[in-house]
């Protein structure tokens, strides 16, 4: 018995840490843009709302082409039997009872056209949901690129701040030795103060971009985000050629897909308006009950007479005008989308070339100039202003390089927004 007691106590002791173990900590998103996109696809309320609208539109397709519900009418004839009895509603005690079952049937093809209109409304809702996702992913990609630029600029500013501290030390030594003016030390200190002030602005800008990203992820605006690791590699110039992407954009752009669905729905609505020139039918069957038995059956057909032709012609002209408007809207959207595509492709290529020029030429030249200027200042051959200008050239070249890379990413995100998918 003592053995069982100690065994149970041991099991409870081992199980207690597991029972009270803290839940797994969710990793902080933001290292890659893909982690942000996956989180936004799961949590963004606007996107979820559009998905529910698509689901609702899908449920309208089947009812749109369904027959109307049949109608049942019960008529009790002579409920007093010509005054021989008190009124009654019992079918077996009245003179006769007539049961009429009616079913409305639209003209041939109307149900199919209504169902097609509902299908195109579903396609339009899907297109609008794709537009929301394209815009959302664009915002996330562009803000991620901006956040990357801010972090890199902050790192660069801190590196330059450390460098300026070294230059101040050099200037202090030269000033103490009587080889340089006190103005050199003061200018180095002023540069450091300016850099520290810039870091305050960078920190504020970082919080703003993080708030925009967190809003897209349905997180608290001040929730932490990981430091971006790297930008996505740019596609090859051949894959970003206008001739390569023009047809893909025309076939896949979410706005154009929504406009195309609107055109198809307008065409079906016009055809339905033309079909309204013809009558709809109602068919019925009516058994007649006498006492406790059915002794008579009647068949009926009912046709509505389309006399209001002027009203129908107005409806037809309205449907044709809506179709023409949808076609014109798609043409305008096509022109706008292709224009934006050409503009962004040119901007991507320009940013790519600028980054290549800075990395291969301007930055190495600026670094070489500074490396040559530093010993020249230490030896008294150059003044501090020349050294400071060389340092500023390095910083400017590095900032321009990061800016060109960021601009290319933002323009690439715009191209993917127009395309409706990633390249």
CATH number at residue 401: 1.20.1600.10
In angstroms, the CA 35 to CA 29 distance is 6
Check pLDDT > 90 for residue 16. Answer: no
Question: What local confidence, expressed as pLDDT, does residue 4 receive?
Answer: 55
- What are the C-alpha distances in Å from 190 to residues 365, 395, 397? 26, 16, 21
Task: Indicate the helix (H) or strand (E) that contains 117.
Answer: helix 110-176
Supply the pLDDT for residue 179: 67
Instruction: Tell me the backbone φ, ψ of residue 143, rounded to 5 degrees.
Output: -70, -35
Range of lowest pLDDT (84-98, 207-221, 318-332) = 84-98
Distance CA 309, CA 312 (A): 5
- The pLDDT of residue 309: 81
**β-bridge partners, 283:** 103, 301
Task: Report the pLDDT value the prediction gives residue 285, as an integer from 0 to 100.
Answer: 92
CA proximity to 156, closest of 116, 198, 187, 94: 198
Residue 321's pLDDT is what?
94
pLDDT of the residue at 20 = 46
Residue 13 covered by a domain: no
Residue 217 reports pLDDT greater than 90: no
> Looking at the predicted structure, is the pLDDT value of residue 38 above 60?
yes
Residue 197 has pLDDT above 80, yes or no: yes
Q: What are phi and psi of 144, to 5 degrees?
A: -65, -45
Q: Return the closest-CA partner of residue 349 out of 230, 248, 249, 244.
A: 244
Segment 159-177 shows an average pLDDT of: 80
Determine the average pLDDT of the residues in 82-93. 82
Total domains in the fold of the chain: 1
Residue 47 lies in a domain: yes
Examine residue 72 and state whether it is found in any structural domain, yes or no. Answer: no
What pLDDT is recorded for position 166?
81
Residue 74, phi then psi, degrees to nearest 5: -115, 125
Report the candidate in 230, 226, 209, 240 with the shortest Cα–Cα distance to residue 405: 230
Alpha-carbon distances of 141 from 36, 108, 415, rounded to whole Å: 9, 51, 11
DSSP, collapsed to helix, strand or coil, labels residue 101 as strand
Encoded tokens for 50: 């559009």
The predicted structure's pLDDT at residue 25: 57
pLDDT one-digit tens code per residue, 219-231: 888 888 888 888 8
CA trace torsion 317, 319, 323, 325 (10° rounding): 70
Q: Is residue 371 included in any domain, yes or no?
A: yes
Mean pLDDT of the chain: 85
Lowest-pLDDT choice from 86-90, 105-109, 177-181, 307-311 = 177-181
Asked if residues 209 and 150 have their Cβ atoms less than 8 Å apart, the reply is yes
Q: For residue 421, what is the DSSP state?
A: S
Q: Render pLDDT for 99-141 as a digit per residue (tens, 0 to 9).
A: 999 999 998 888 999 999 999 999 999 999 999 999 999 999 9
Task: Give the domain range for residue 251.
Answer: 36-66+115-278+310-419
Give the pLDDT score at 19.
44
Asked if the structure places residue 145 within a domain, the reply is: yes
- Please state the φ and ψ torsions of residue 25, each to the nearest 5 degrees: -80, 130
Q: Quick check: 123 and 257 in contact, CB under 8 A? A: yes
Mapped onto helix, strand or coil, the DSSP state of residue 18 is: helix
18 pLDDT more than 50 = no
pLDDT band of 341, cuts 50, 70, 90: very high
* Residue 364 counted as domain residue: yes
- Say what the pLDDT of residue 26 is: 59
Q: Which residue has the higher pLDDT, 26 or 31?
A: 31
Residue-level pLDDT at 396: 87
| Domain assignment of residue 4, yes or no | no
Model confidence pLDDT, tens digit, residues 350-390:
999 898 998 888 888 888 887 777 777 677 676 777 777 87
28 domain-assigned:
no
Give the pairing type, strands 71-77 and 96-105.
antiparallel
């Amino acid at each position: 018995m003592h053995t069982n007691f100690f065994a149970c106590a041991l099991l409870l002791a081992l199980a207690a840490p597991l029972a009270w173990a803290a839940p797994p900590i969710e990793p902080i998103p933001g290292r890659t843009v893909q982690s942000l996109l996956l989180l936004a696809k799961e949590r963004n309320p606007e996107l979820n709302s559009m998905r529910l609208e698509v689901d609702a539109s899908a449920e309208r397709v089947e009812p749109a082409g369904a027959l109307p519900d049949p109608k049942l009418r019960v008529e009790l004839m002579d409920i007093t039997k010509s005054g021989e009895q008190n009124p009654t509603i019992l079918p077996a005690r009245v003179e006769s009872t007539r049961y009429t079952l009616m079913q409305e049937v639209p003209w041939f093809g109307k149900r199919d056209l209504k169902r097609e209109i509902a299908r195109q409304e579903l396609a339009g809702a899907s297109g609008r949901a794709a537009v929301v996702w394209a815009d959302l992913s664009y915002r996330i990609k562009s803000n991620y690129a901006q956040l990357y630029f801010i972090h890199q600029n902050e790192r660069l500013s801190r590196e330059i701040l450390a460098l300026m501290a070294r230059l101040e030390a050099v200037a202090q030594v030269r000033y103490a030795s009587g080889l340089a003016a006190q103005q050199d030390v003061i200018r180095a200190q002023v540069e450091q103060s300016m850099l520290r002030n810039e870091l305050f602005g960078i920190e504020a800008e970082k919080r703003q971009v993080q708030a925009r990203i967190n809003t897209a992820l349905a997180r608290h605006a001040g929730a932490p985000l990981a430091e971006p690791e790297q930008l996505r590699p740019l596609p090859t110039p051949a894959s970003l050629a206008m001739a390569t992407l023009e047809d893909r954009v025309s076939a896949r752009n979410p706005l154009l897909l929504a406009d195309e669905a609107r055109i198809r729905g307008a065409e079906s609505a016009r055809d339905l308006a033309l079909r309204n020139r013809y009558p709809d039918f109602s068919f019925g069957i009516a058994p007649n009950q006498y006492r406790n038995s059915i002794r008579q059956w009647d068949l009926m057909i009912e046709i509505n007479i389309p006399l209001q032709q002027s009203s129908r012609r107005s409806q037809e002209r309205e449907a044709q005008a809506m179709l023409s408007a949808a076609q014109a809207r798609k043409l305008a959207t096509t022109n706008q989308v292709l224009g934006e595509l050409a503009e962004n492709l040119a901007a991507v290529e320009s940013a790519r070339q600028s980054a290549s020029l800075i990395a291969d030429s301007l930055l190495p030249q600026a670094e070489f100039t500074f490396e040559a200027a530093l010993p020249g200042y230490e030896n008294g051959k150059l003044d501090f202003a020349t050294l400071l200008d060389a340092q500023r050239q390095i910083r400017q070249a590095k900032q321009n390089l990061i800016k060109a890379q960021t601009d290319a990413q933002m323009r690439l995100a715009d191209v993917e927004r127009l395309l409706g998918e990633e390249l």
